[in-house]
Chains A and B, each alone.
Chain A
């Protein structure tokens, strides 16, 4: 007997007839009528007008009928809230039925009726059902709490349902435990107060782990997902949880496997990276991940997106499994594309030959998107694995020969990147590329080709003709192409100025006067001005050496990657976006991977860093002892608008009156040296007075505090003779998420400065820079906040000079004395380092003693305060030494020649009035100097020695 007959009533007056049947005395007729109502509902007919009649059928012994009526209620209660109340009585009664199936059905359905008035009546039955003797009812009630919370969170909290749920975590029935976990996780995710509602402690974890072995596959997923939110207290606990989770990797259900992988990946972060256990886990993770690729295609897709994350986090897990990612003919396209991505991630010198053979094969397939991505992948291989570059290039050339339009275009786009990565290596193929100029119709390919022509203009004989042909259609081009064309023509002009002026002028005019695109206009103006004022500078700017492009493209930013690892198996892991990017409202606190606690690991590789953090914390009494608070402190640093220390790259104001600017005027002489006569025939309208917007002029006033810096920068100042040590590397990019910091300390005009160069070697922008100094022996503190106002783009660097002042509040004796601990923050992380401040910065100008005073002081200081040092490899004579030291305020009181040796008696005074006396023995033709230092404060000696060393070797 088929249900389809219920769909076939199309007579008029149907509703009326149904109404009559619903109110019939005959049970059978009633049920048939309800089925017809449900059938109508299924195909989308509005049968809400039958509400009272259907609800009347609710009181029945027939379970099937009851289910249908409940179904109807769930669908229409919201549109008929007043009438829904009619049903409450039956629900309450059913919750007391002797049959657990009916009790569960009633409590399940009640929770789905999203009518406020009903929820009040739901509380009592729900409370009872949560304590029901039958686990089937209990597990249904547990989910019902989550339903109720969704409608009325306050009610759930007030009624104590959350505590009741927590009690269920210790229930003996695994299914009840699993549903209670699911409900609690959902509630704590939805609740504004966050996880406070659902605190997992070690004891509950233990119960969950036990239930994990016994509950259904779905329950296992709920439990594993909530385990993943737990942070074990130490490595040992993490390991013991992992041990009980690893068997789940052998589960047939792919979702159980992925949730287990999530827990393991997360907890691995807490373990000693060099320990055996990590190795074991890594080995155990690989086979189940590979097996996921035999699952249904949709599951494969989810698995592949997650594997993409996993190999970025821990490359070693799948490094030997390249072949399983080879594409099969019948894979769905979305699986194919994901596999390609992972193939590139796993490509290495060892397997590149195989990968390349595959990619070449794919590039001859018919699916356009797949072919394009394969061609691109070949280029990415070339960039990633240097040894394969040559083979990749020849493969790409083969593909270009196929003349398949989209293949050629993709190939050109990637070849541009290969040129960037390996300059001056493969340019011989340019001729082949130029042959295909006409077939390029996609902006990206055109832009790439134009870039290549501009970049190698000197090698392409007809570069001018080629570019000219592009310029003809300038206004019809995509803005990406226009920008490239502008730059390429300027490059061409700078490289071959003889007969390209007309071209460059027309492009500059097109970009500045006939374009609505601000980027293009601005770039046009900048080139124009550069060319007209200082062609040499233009050359430096436009033809500057480009930073190499990085190996791996489209890597996920590390903090995002860590967050996504916490969401393995979820939509976030497929989108590669944090949940906050696609979930409304409070998407839960950002998750971060747990970190390894510094205390537990004996062989931890970064104890130094950890220790530094500790030190910083212990000596800053105002900040509570936790790393988070230190972060908070840094974030709260005043990032006000003081930009005095920002070394502005703005050039000096132009000396000429702007009206006298002439694009092809005198400035070009240097470019056109070869020409017998500088070309001066440009039209008067080319004067730059008109088109140059005022904003392009450099900022008028220079803040007073900046003078020293700028003066120094431009060599104007005179007080800068004091020795400044070359910048040393303070933060290394590989260890600091791509931030490289070089710096030194200097003194100019009696002000102290920290001169720093920030270089962004990461792939993404950095911003939000801030600095904080720990207390130090001389109480150095920044005079103002670190001013890096604009974000630092990838591969950019910026020079910053931070003025420091002495603040007695900030003094604390350090060991070594001149040690300065620094914290640097940016949007990615906080980094710590310590540097030695050279003591000579603190030598004062009045440190020159008279001879008598020197002699008396020398005698006064007890001989145990004398320290002797040896300075090696100094090739200066005594006069040069004297002069050099003098500049840094080490004054020579007397000089004596004894037995062919020069004895220099010197004095210094520190800002805190500590006097230092020194005796320096210089032997001609001997690079070794002997230094004796005497001071009442004996501790300064090593630092003084250090200063001498630096000055004399600088």
Chain B
């Protein structure tokens, strides 16, 4: 049912550090993994799960590392992958960046953390804020040995008591990412908004928070809101573990005791049929053995008073092009040969505008034999003070027994998610 051992490998498959939790699998078996991965790749059978005999390897890749879990049982593989990703997250929070170097630099604490994160293959405490209270890099300097923070086993396992701030503040960021997939005919195949509400909480004590959104179902349930303010139908909402799910299920109230500091309170998803915010049309003329020409038209289809910042339109080009020439009506375009891309930067792109970029490349007279794919055009952008869904924070109530006043700050941003426009 659970993990037998966890390994950190470098890209060559060498073990950097490992922790054997159950002792039921020969630890040297890990040497088989990289060759097996290569074999699979050759046979076109890549998979994040590889079997060897009766051992299953489950692995993820992070920067220049592989994190591998092994098991001999019918493990809950969804849990295994989530704990591996969680470990990455915790280590990132501990060492800023988890990579080969940081493992060597912190092996003592990594052993300590691995001991605390997982026991006998069962994930235990994975909240880095709480872990930092008793597993510290400066452990040896402490005069008094640390004790387990009560939070570990409390119902509120994510917040310790006794947090104090002089100024009590909460920052709420509503960030919506737009996923878009457009096919070569210019039809929108998929348009979806993935929203997240991120919080930075600087509050004393054990505050009780209640967040009010213009949630359509809530409005319908309570009869409030009515026709006056617009409401939003959230399709699938996911909450941080601090939110009382059964309460939400009952009356759509989002109530919680927040962890201290930064965290993602909730995420939601909705399918929309709104116009794509930035629309791209492209004409690509390829004259084999001589040149290729691109004509890219970008159109902003949001309200005039909003502006998209730092817009990047990324166009893939064949790997053998040379002599780039660009012409743009606004912004600047550059060729990034190491990625075989052209990036067209537009610092500020107001709503209701249309810009044009032309690119011209030479092609070698001898063509490469290998066929290249046609990566879609990708767009990056950020539109502040704007949400596509129209979601609004109506209130954030903060109640703490000491009765302090706290100020919530709210910010809205819409940005690109997986934004792809296929090309002919």
Contact = CB atoms under 8 A, between A and B. Distances in A.
A64 B74 contact: no
Interface stretch (A418-426, A477-485, A567-575): A567-575
Given A247-B246, A571-B56, 16 more contacts: A68-B108, A71-B111, A99-B145, A143-B122, A150-B22, A182-B2, A216-B241, A217-B126, A221-B76, A254-B81, A294-B179, A298-B60, A334-B48, A357-B183, A361-B183, A569-B76
Contacts of B119: 108, 140, 143
Given A134-B148, A291-B269, A302 B81 contact: yes
B82 A299 contact: yes
Interface in B311-329: none
Interface in B1-41: 1-2, 15-17, 20-24
A598 interface: no
B157 A569 contact: no
Given A31-B140, A222-B122, A247 B54 contact: no
A10 interface: no
Interface string A391-415: 0000000000000000000000000
Nearest to B119: A143
Interface stretch (A580-588, A747-755, A778-786, A877-885): A580-588
Contact of B108 (A35, A297, A330): A35
A62 B108 CA distance: 14
Contact of B418 (A175, A222, A328, A571): A328
Contacts, number: 265
Given A42-B107, A250-B239, A570-B76, A135 B153 contact: yes
Interface in B122-141: 122-126, 134, 139-140
Interface stretch (B165-173, B330-338, B368-376, B403-411): B368-376
Interface in A89-115: 99-102, 104-105, 108, 111-112, 114
A107 to B, nearest CB: 10
A62 B192 CA distance: 54
B74 A259 contact: no
B375 to A, nearest CB: 6
Size category of the binding interface on chain A: 35 or more
4 tightest A-B CB contacts, nearest first: A287-B236, A369-B44, A247-B245, A135-B153
B375 A302 contact: no
Contacts of B190: 323-324, 326
6 contacts: A221-B79, A252-B266, A253-B82, A366-B373, A582-B51, A582-B54
B73 A583 contact: yes
Interface in B160-195: 179, 181, 183-184, 189-190, 192, 194
A101 B77 contact: no
Interface string A243-265: 01011101111110011000000
A915 to B, nearest CB: 68
A147 interface: yes
A799 interface: no
Interface in A134-160: 134-136, 139-140, 143-144, 146-147, 150
A288 B236 contact: yes
Given A68-B111, A259-B78, A367 B373 contact: yes
Contact of B241 (A67, A111, A217, A579): A217
B76 A361 contact: no
B274 interface: no
A186 B236 contact: no
A185 B104 contact: no
A168 to B, nearest CB: 12
Nearest to B145: A63
B366 interface: no
Contacts of A547: none
Interface string B78-98: 110111110000000000000
Given A287-B236, A291-B269, A584-B72, A111 B120 contact: yes
A246 B249 CA distance: 8
A93 to B, nearest CB: 15
A329 interface: yes
Interface string A292-329: 00101111011100000000000000000001101011
A179 B122 contact: yes
A39 B107 contact: yes
B79 to A, nearest CB: 4
Nearest to A306: B78
B79 A569 contact: yes
Contacts of B179: 294
B238 interface: yes
Contacts of A35: 108
Contacts of A290: 236, 269
A218 interface: yes
B224 interface: no
A139 B79 CA distance: 19
Contacts of A244: 246
Contacts of A299: 78, 81-82, 85
A252 B264 contact: yes
B341 to A, nearest CB: 13
A809 interface: no
A218 B79 contact: yes
Given A146-B120, A366-B372, A213 B245 contact: yes
A607 interface: no
